Structures are given as structure tokens and as C-alpha cells.
Chains A and B, each alone.
Chain A
């Protein structure tokens, strides 16, 4: 009975009104599981950051969330431009977001650092011109 619960979300590009819908849905489901509020918070923040990144930088993509009683795995896959310098991108405050996005209050350069901060494990696979897949893990 206890196979992983798999949730799939398509993230549409450049649609800031819908950005956050996926993470909000996941958050609601995690609360129904009755897992610790702290774990819910970590997943919600990390996934929201990732979702926003996909909207800003990567023409959208797909998020697959796998929930088991032991952990929550989030796989964020896009076919965007890829990240040229992962080390730089991981630095707090570093951002390549265009001005119009920053004017909306995004692009503070805290996306990837926050994703790392709020998860127990994060893996970035990226190829220039092909896309980026970020896998994040929050243990329960």
C-alpha cells in the first residue's frame, strides 16, 4: 500500500500569477499528512524558489514530487539555457535575472542558496543549451 505518492506539475514559463501554485499544492498535501511543520516549511520554501527559477530562467518545465513516509524528493527538470557557472549561482546575492523580473521583487540571488539551505540534499545537473535538473531531498 505504501508506494511513493507521485505528484507531477507542469510549470508554465513567464506566468508569474501562476508561479507558486505547485509548491502551494504540495504544501497543502504535506499538511494533510501531519508531518512536522518544520519539514513542510522546508519543502514549501525550497520548492517555491525552484518553481520561481523555472519561471524566470528556464521557460518552465516539469516538477515531480515523490513522497514516501521517509522522505520527500523533488525533481525540477527544465529545458532552459542551463547554468554556466554553478558555483557562482550558488552564491547568495548572485543573480542573472533581468531587470523587469527584479522589479517584480524577484531575482534577489537567493534562489539556489535557499534551496540548498532548506533541503537535506541538493543535486544540480546542468548542460548549457540543454537544460537543468535539480533534485532536492527533505528527510522526514
Chain B
């Protein structure tokens, strides 16, 4: 299994080499090299921010196609709670669930039902771990990955429970095998996901050895097909819904925490906000909090890059849908071995990917070099070198991945010096015949022109500064 598997990738053809993604990447994982964006696999947490900001649609999410359904004898769809927030005037989730069956899935299992089990298990965990508060949610794979590479001191605070999608997959696979008598490999478990981060989770999960989700489909792919079938679902529909308010609330920021029956929680969404909260948590600024819910996307899962509806509109729709639902419909005691399904089976290890060197002495020497380089670089963070900031360029230089010449300002200064040197050289040249004199005149003329154009660049910048 690839520790640094990624579902967020680059389309080389479409990339223009602009600086939008490098400036917005929250972990500074992207560089432009040779005119194309390059994602550093160790720094990237698959949050999907670059997909959002790329004006050329050169960043893409890897997920499965719907025709994968044909490879199985029996298929189960696991709709994410955020899916319910995508539709206008939806007042019964059964319409969505029945439409999924009409699309060809043999069965459906709501992720929101599994979420209710995770909520119960979390309440239990909080009650028995009061010495280790606050506990940090692990439902968002990008957040767990971020903590893994950047916040080693917070790893022990991670909630060691499977995310709802995993619990749903375990339960759905179990029940499908019982129902049909088919072997596990004949059954396809399909998660309908709001984000690529869940694809990463499925391919390379943290907290469990192997995910029981077989394929991940994008909400945006399913959406048009689902819409047409939803219109065909009549009043006589099958009751497939097995979750209530608590489960469905997980689709938006604050939903997970609200199912814990405590006011003493914090819920932050949007990756930049998440990072700020984690920084403060690390400095022990919230010692009295019980629970911290973090979602990489604005608004929570409804803000995922594979959704279609505006996250804040989707949130309103979810709220409306939940209004007349029972509090919860799925409980731990309804499942055998529920504890085993919910708990993590592996731990998360710190990956110090941001270290400057391989050992302390090397890192130490390199940090000193970075400090010195930062003083020399212009500090404009223009991005022209392909790195998001001058400091990031300095770090790349000491890691041997870039050179000072990548800085256009540095390059301009060295061109100045170069032309002065050539000019001095030309002055000192001994000239014999007339032809050589003529050539020297032309050479000097060119040098003069280069100098003038560089001076123009300088003065443009002076004006810009004013």
C-alpha cells in the first residue's frame, strides 16, 4: 500500500503553469517546474483546494466510473449524507434511495446510519478518555493526513474510530453476504462521495489495514442520472431509510459534534481555518474542550469538490430535510460486534515530511542556509520561480530542488552584472583591423541595448512600488 497515494492529480495538457494552485495549496505542496505544476506527494493531503482554484481545470480527482457496477454479481450503494443536500424540495430520503436502486444498485446502505453508530461510540469514547481531551474527529481523511505530517503532538488526540463510510461498508458487505450467500468478492460496495479525499482513504486508509469500500463514485457523476429517476419514484416507495437527524447532520460542519450531546466542542471547516485551529490546539489554547470537529471543506462535506450544489445552500436543504426526522434510528446494540466494526485496527504514525534534512545536523545546517537565503531573496512572494513564497524557494534550494537563478529578481541582477562585465571586457579588447572595429561597435551596441531594456524593467518596478 502506498503511504502517499493521491487522488488529486494534474492534467499535464491543460496546465498552463500559472501560479493559482501554488499560492492556494495549504501545505505548499505544489511547484511549477518547466511550465507545469508538480504535486509533491509527501506534502499533499488531497484536500482538493487546487481543483477548486485552477482556472484551467488542470487539476483532477481520480475516482471510479459507474460501469464498474457491471463487474459484480451484487452491488450496494453507500450514499454520503451530503448527497441528500443536493436536491431541491427533497422531503424524504427514500426518494433518493429508491432512485439509486432504479439506477441498478441491488441494495443501498446509508452512510448516515453508520454515522449514528460512530456518534454513539464517540460518546462512549469521550466518557472514558477524559484524561486525553480534546479528542479530534477523524472523519475527514484530509485532516487526518494533515495531522500525520504536520501536527505530531496531536496524533494521540485523534479519535481512534473508523469513519462512517468504513463502518457502513463493513455492515453493508456483511448483510449482503448473509442475504445472497455470495462470496465477498462477488459483492461490490460503492461509496457515493462528495470528495476525492475519500478516494485516498479507500486506496490507502489510515486507522485500518484495508478499506471495505470497493469503489468510489462522484456525487457529480451520479447526480444527473439520479435526478431523472427520482422523478419516476412514486408514492408507493420502499422504506429504505435507516437513519435520523444525528446521522444526516454529519453532512455539514458541526453535525458530527452535535451528535455528541455536549456543548463543549469546536467545529471548524475550510482547510485554512482547520490549520489555524490545529496550531492553537498544539499550543494548548483549548485545554478545556471535549471535542474538536474539523472538516477540510468549507461548510463540511457538502463543500466537497465532487458535489454540485453550493455548500451553504446544501446545508439549508439538509436542515430542512432533517426537521421531521427522528433523532436517531441506528444504534450500536442493533449490530453484533459493533465495537469491533467501529474501532481502529491500526495506529497513525507521524511522517516528518517537512524536515529540511535527513538528520538533525543536516536539517540544522539547512535551516541556517534558509535563513541566509531568505535575507537575500526579494521577499515579494511573486511565485514566478514556481514556488509559492520566497521562503519556500529557499527551502527548495537547500533541498537541492531549485536554484537561486529561479528567482527572476536574482536573475535580473546577475544579468546586470554580466552585461557590465562583458562591457568592460569589450573596452579592454585590442583591435587590429577595420572589420574588427566594426564588430566591436556592434557588440557594444547590443550590450547597450540589453542594459537599457533591463533598466526599463527596473524603472517599471519602481513605478509599481509607488
A-to-B contact residues, CB < 8 Å: 1-3, 5, 7, 20, 23-24, 27, 29, 31-35, 37-38, 40-41, 44-45, 48, 67-69, 140
Q: Is the CB of B150 within 8 A of A31?
A: yes
Q: Is the CB of A37 within 8 A of B350?
A: yes
Q: Is the CB of A32 within 8 A of B282?
A: no
- With A27-B282, A45-B283, A45-B284 in contact, do A32 and B367 touch (Cβ < 8 Å)? yes
Q: Is the CB of B153 within 8 A of A34?
A: no
Complex Cα distance A2/B368, Å?
A: 8
Q: Is B355 an interface residue (CB 8 A)?
A: yes
Q: Is the CB of A24 within 8 A of B355?
A: no
> Please, which residues of chain A bring their CB within 8 A of the CB of B365?
1-2
| 8 Å CB contact of A44 from B282, B355, B357, B395 | B282
> Please, which residues of chain A bring their CB within 8 A of the CB of B364?
2, 5, 33, 67-69
**Interface residues of B, dominant DSSP:** helix
Q: Is the CB of B282 within 8 A of A41?
A: yes
Complex Cα distance A35/B359, Å?
A: 9
Q: Is the CB of A40 within 8 A of B355?
A: no
Q: What would be 30 A-B contacts, judged by CB atoms less than 8 Å apart?
A: A2-B361, A2-B364, A2-B368, A5-B364, A5-B367, A5-B368, A5-B371, A24-B279, A27-B283, A29-B367, A31-B150, A31-B352, A32-B356, A32-B363, A32-B370, A32-B395, A34-B352, A34-B357, A34-B360, A35-B360, A37-B152, A38-B153, A40-B152, A40-B153, A41-B153, A41-B282, A44-B282, A45-B283, A69-B360, A140-B360
| 8 Å CB contact of A34 from B363, B370, B371 | B363
> Please, which residues of chain A bring their CB within 8 A of the CB of B395?
32
* Beta-carbon contacts under 8 Å, B341-365 to A: 350, 352, 354-357, 359-361, 363-365
Complex Cα distance A3/B371, Å?
A: 13
Residue among B350, B355, B364 facing the most chain A CB atoms (10 A cut-off): B364
Complex Cα distance A32/B365, Å?
A: 11
> Please, which residues of chain A bring their CB within 8 A of the CB of B279?
24, 27
Q: Is the CB of A1 within 8 A of B368?
A: yes
Residue among A3, A27, A32 facing the most chain B CB atoms (10 A cut-off): A32
- The chain A residue with its CB closest to the CB of B149 is A31
> Please, which residues of chain A bring their CB within 8 A of the CB of B359?
34
In whole Å, how far is A52's beta carbon from the nearest beta carbon of chain B?
10
Complex Cα distance A37/B149, Å?
A: 12
**8 new A-B pairs (CB below 8 Å) besides A40-B152, A140-B360?**
A1-B368, A5-B367, A27-B282, A32-B370, A34-B359, A44-B282, A45-B283, A69-B361
Q: Is the CB of A33 within 8 A of B367?
A: yes
> Please, which residues of chain A bring their CB within 8 A of the CB of B352?
31, 34
Complex Cα distance A1/B372, Å?
A: 12
Q: Is the CB of A33 within 8 A of B356?
A: yes
| 8 Å CB contact of A48 from B283, B360, B371 | B283
Residue among A3, A5, A23, A35 facing the most chain B CB atoms (10 A cut-off): A5
> Please, which residues of chain B bring their CB within 8 A of the CB of A69?
360-361, 364
Complex Cα distance A27/B368, Å?
A: 15
> Please, which residues of chain B bring their CB within 8 A of the CB of A41?
153, 282
| 8 Å CB contact of B354 from A23, A24, A31, A38 | A31
Q: Is the CB of B153 within 8 A of A33?
A: no
| 8 Å CB contact of A33 from B150, B152, B283, B363 | B363
- The chain B residue with its CB closest to the CB of A114 is B284
> Please, which residues of chain A bring their CB within 8 A of the CB of B363?
32-34
In whole Å, how far is B313's beta carbon from the nearest beta carbon of chain A?
32
> Please, which residues of chain A bring their CB within 8 A of the CB of B356?
32-34
In whole Å, how far is B206's beta carbon from the nearest beta carbon of chain A?
18
> Please, which residues of chain B bring their CB within 8 A of the CB of A44?
282-283
Complex Cα distance A44/B282, Å?
A: 8
Complex Cα distance A37/B350, Å?
A: 9
> Please, which residues of chain B bring their CB within 8 A of the CB of A2?
361, 364-365, 368
Complex Cα distance A24/B359, Å?
A: 23
- With A23-B283, A27-B282 in contact, do A33 and B368 touch (Cβ < 8 Å)? no
Complex Cα distance A140/B355, Å?
A: 16
> Please, which residues of chain B bring their CB within 8 A of the CB of A3?
368
In whole Å, how far is B271's beta carbon from the nearest beta carbon of chain A?
17
Q: Is the CB of A32 within 8 A of B354?
A: yes
Q: Is the CB of A33 within 8 A of B282?
A: no
Complex Cα distance A38/B350, Å?
A: 13
Complex Cα distance A15/B308, Å?
A: 42
> Please, which residues of chain A bring their CB within 8 A of the CB of B150?
31
> Please, which residues of chain B bring their CB within 8 A of the CB of A45?
283-284
In whole Å, how far is A88's beta carbon from the nearest beta carbon of chain B?
23
The 6 closest A-B pairs by CB, nearest first: A34-B355, A37-B152, A33-B363, A41-B153, A32-B356, A37-B153
| 8 Å CB contact of B355 from A7, A33, A38, A68 | A33
Complex Cα distance A32/B414, Å?
A: 30
Residue among B282, B354, B371 facing the most chain A CB atoms (10 A cut-off): B282
